[in-house]
């Protein structure tokens, strides 16, 4: 690898005193694809955010084509030829494909007005390049996830980037779209671009990459040509230890009593014929791809959306057209997948956040709440979950780290004394140590007789935590696995559908 485009030297980063990246050195070569692998929280995204200009490194340096490179913003990174295609796509769904692609470089005509004809013409030729058969005027909101991914790639092509970073690009793609994307990546390589490809799907890495870098706990543990690194070795390097250490030991405490029962729940176009029961003390995993209907199901169970057909019983009590208040009264708690939008009042204090679902219990008959009692009671739960913060009555939720924010959300629900917990991707975006704490909390909940519905897209996590796994696909339950039947391949096959070949 002589022709280095991007070189990373001793880059490190700390968040809130936690080292997420330390002394990482890497070279990315012209016309090569670098596969970047590692557990969630290993530092892949942090590293790429530093390269992409979204974060600044605390230590170390970078070079592009031998010239120093330390981007202060994503814009500066773009100017230096770095395109970052994010997992969560950065497209404006209310604008057209053409407007999205040229958002920062609209072709101008006379008088500085946007030259719409030129815009359309250039977009059309770019779309032809990625073999996307769509009109440049199509609004992005009408596109499938895969098409959006390709539009994002087209945007990178327009920038004429030399370094293109893909972060988990295939999570929401159909097999056909994936094939299309891979063909495109190979063409980028042939055109002499440097590609960094982040993925959990090791088969894809084996398929695409020329070089492989493995990160673990913020350190680079291996960097070499792909031929030297078969998938089995990658896994060993990624884990670096027994899987048991990532997760607290599993102990099944399920009792026969059924707390929640769904029978043929359907909502047209969203979920179909979903039937399952949840036992006391059970941790029931829900696995599936993005958009498989798991979050939608949770919202329906919690009364945020209605269902057309079917039956739902909680504690034997039939629920229909219930509201979130009704679900809470029936003993449910819902920890949503996006803390920022649905979980927390970011500008309110930790105490106010924790008390939010228990206001009625905290008040007297006249609806009066004593502020001091509120802070004290919330404090009990903050202590119990070891939330690391300043005074909980004065510290706003936004000042906390992701892991502590998630603990605030959990504390809020613990305070309302539920018996059924709906957890939707509860460990997303939080560090390894905090994850372990959350897993322990889940086990404690089950041990104390609560039931947990645990939605996750991380197969290792579900397998380690759940007593039973239900797999969803296109709004339906496509597989059920008891703990003795847990096999990665079978679960993934159920999630992708039978015809799909999986790792």
Partner 1 sequence: MTAQASPPVGPRRSDYPGLGLLRGLLLSEYFVLYLTIAYFAVASFFFPALLEPRNISNQLSNIWPLLAVAIGQTFVIIIAGIDLSLGATMGIASVAGAVVMTSAADKLLLGGSPLWGWALTEQGGVLANHPAALPVAIAAILGTGLVIGLVNGVFIARFKLPPFMMTLVTSMLFAAMAIWLTQSQNIVNLPDSFTNLGNGDIVSVYFGEKLTPEIKRRDILPFVTYPMLISLALAFAAHLLLSRTVFGRQVYAVGNNSRAAQISGVPVRRTILLVFVIAGFCAAVAAILYAARLEAGRPTIGAGSALLDIIGAVVIGGTSLAGGKGKISWTVVGVVFFVLLSNTLNYMRLSAFHIDVVKGLIILAAALLDVLRTRLARMRG
Of 179 and 338, which CB lies nearer to partner 1 in the complex structure? Answer: 338
Q: Identify the residue whose tokens are 């596109």.
A: 143
Give CA–CA dist 120/133, Å, rounded.
14
Q: In angstroms, what is the minimal distance from the CB of 75 to partner 1?
A: 17
Shortest distance (Å) from residue 72 CB to partner 1: 9
Q: Tell me the two tokens of residue 335.
A: 């920890």
Closest CA to 56 of 71, 41, 76: 71
Query: Contact 452/423 with Cβ under 8 angstroms?
Result: yes
Smaller CB separation from partner 1, 139 or 346: 346
Q: Which residue has the tokens 């694809």?
A: 33
| CA dihedral for 344, 348, 352, 357, sign (positive or negative) | negative
To the nearest 10°, the Cα dihedral for 295, 299, 300, 303? 170
Instruction: Work out how close the CB of 381 gets to partner 1 at its nearest, in angstroms, rounded to a whole number.
Output: 14
**At its nearest, how many Å lie between partner 1 and the CB of residue 187?**
35
Query: For residues 207 and 363, which CB has a smaller minimum distance to partner 1 in the complex?
Result: 363
Residue 61: CB minimum distance to partner 1, A: 4
Q: Give me the DSSP letters along 151-194.
A: HHHHHHHHTT-SEEEEESTTTT--HHHHHHHHHHHHHHHHTT-E
Task: Please identify, using beta-carbon distances, which residue of 199 and 389 lies nearer to partner 1.
Answer: 389
Nearer to partner 1, 190 or 341 (CB): 341
Please identify, using beta-carbon distances, which residue of 10 and 137 lies nearer to partner 1: 10
Least distance to partner 1, CB of residue 30, Å: 22
Q: How far is the CB of 345 from partner 1 (least distance, A)?
A: 4
Helix locations, 386-501, DSSP H: 402-415, 432-447, 459-465, 488-496
Rounded distance between C-alpha atoms, residue 491 and residue 486, angstroms: 7
Distances (CA, A) of 152 to 48, 110, 190, 250, 353: 17, 28, 20, 41, 37
Task: Give Cβ neighbours of residue 180 (< 8 Å, ≥ 6 apart).
Answer: 130, 131, 146, 150
Task: Tell me how far, at minimum, the Cβ of 21 lies from partner 1, in Å.
Answer: 14
Torsion of CA 318, 324, 326, 328, to 10 degrees: 100
Q: Which one, 197 or 454, has the nearer CB to partner 1?
A: 454
Q: Side-chain half-sphere of 167: how many Cα atoms within 13 Å?
A: 18
**Chain residues in the site for partner 1 (CB under 8 A):** 9-10, 56-61, 70, 302, 304, 323-325, 327-329, 334, 336, 341-348, 352, 355-357, 359-360, 362-363, 366-371, 395-396, 398-399, 412, 416
Q: Which is nearer to partner 1, 187 or 398 (CB)?
A: 398
């Amino acid at each position: 690898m002589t022709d280095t485009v991007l070189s990373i030297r001793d880059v490190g980063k700390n968040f809130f005193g936690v080292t997420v990246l330390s002394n990482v050195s890497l070279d990315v070569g012209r016309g090569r694809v670098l596969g970047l692998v590692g557990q969630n929280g290993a530092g892949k995204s942090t590293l790429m955010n530093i390269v992409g200009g979204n974060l600044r490194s605390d230590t170390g340096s970078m070079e592009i084509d031998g010239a120093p490179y330390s981007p202060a913003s994503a814009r500066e990174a773009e100017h230096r030829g770095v395109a970052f295609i994010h997992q969560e796509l950065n497209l404006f769904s209310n604008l057209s494909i053409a407007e999205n692609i040229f958002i920062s470089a609209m072709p101008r005509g006379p008088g500085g007005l946007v030259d719409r004809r030129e815009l359309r013409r250039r977009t059309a030729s770019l779309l032809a390049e990625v073999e996307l058969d769509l009109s440049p005027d199509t609004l992005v909101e009408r596109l499938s996830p895969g098409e959006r991914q390709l539009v994002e790639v087209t945007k990178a092509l327009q920038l004429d980037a030399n370094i293109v970073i893909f972060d988990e690009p295939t999570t929401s793609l159909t097999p056909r779209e994936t094939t299309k994307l891979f063909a495109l990546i190979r063409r980028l390589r042939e055109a002499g671009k440097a590609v960094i490809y982040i993925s959990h799907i090791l088969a894809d890495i084996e398929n695409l990459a020329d070089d492989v870098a493995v990160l673990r706990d913020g350190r680079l543990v291996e960097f070499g040509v792909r031929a030297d690194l078969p998938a089995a070795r990658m896994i060993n390097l990624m884990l670096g230890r027994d899987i048991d250490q990532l997760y607290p030991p599993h102990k099944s405490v399920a009792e026969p009593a059924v707390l929640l029962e769904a029978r043929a729940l359907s909502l047209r176009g969203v979920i179909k014929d979903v039937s399952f029961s949840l036992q006391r003390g059970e941790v029931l995993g829900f696995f599936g791809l993005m958009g498989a209907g798991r979050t939608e199901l949770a919202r329906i169970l919690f009364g945020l959306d209605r269902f057309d057909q079917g039956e739902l019983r909680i504690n034997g009590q039939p629920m229909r057209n219930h509201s979130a208040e009704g679900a809470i009264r029936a003993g449910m708690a819902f920890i949503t997948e996006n803390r920022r939008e649905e979980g927390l009042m970011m500008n309110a204090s930790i105490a106010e956040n924790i008390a939010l679902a228990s206001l009625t219990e905290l008040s007297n008959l006249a609806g009066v709440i004593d502020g001091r009692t509120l802070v004290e009671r919330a404090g009990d739960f903050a202590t119990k979950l070891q939330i690391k913060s300043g005074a909980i009555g004065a510290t706003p939720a936004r000042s906390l780290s992701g892991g502590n924010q998630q603990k605030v959300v959990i504390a809020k629900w613990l305070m309302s004394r539920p018996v059924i917990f709906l957890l939707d991707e509860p460990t997303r975006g939080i560090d390894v140590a905090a994850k372990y704490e959350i897993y322990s909390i889940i086990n404690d909940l089950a041990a104390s007789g609560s039931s947990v519905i645990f939605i996750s897209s991380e197969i290792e996590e579900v397998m380690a935590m759940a007593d039973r796994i239900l797999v969803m696909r296109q709004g339906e339950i496509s597989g059920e696995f008891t703990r003795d039947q847990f096999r990665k391949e079978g679960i993934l096959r159920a999630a992708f559908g039978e015809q799909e070949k999986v790792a």
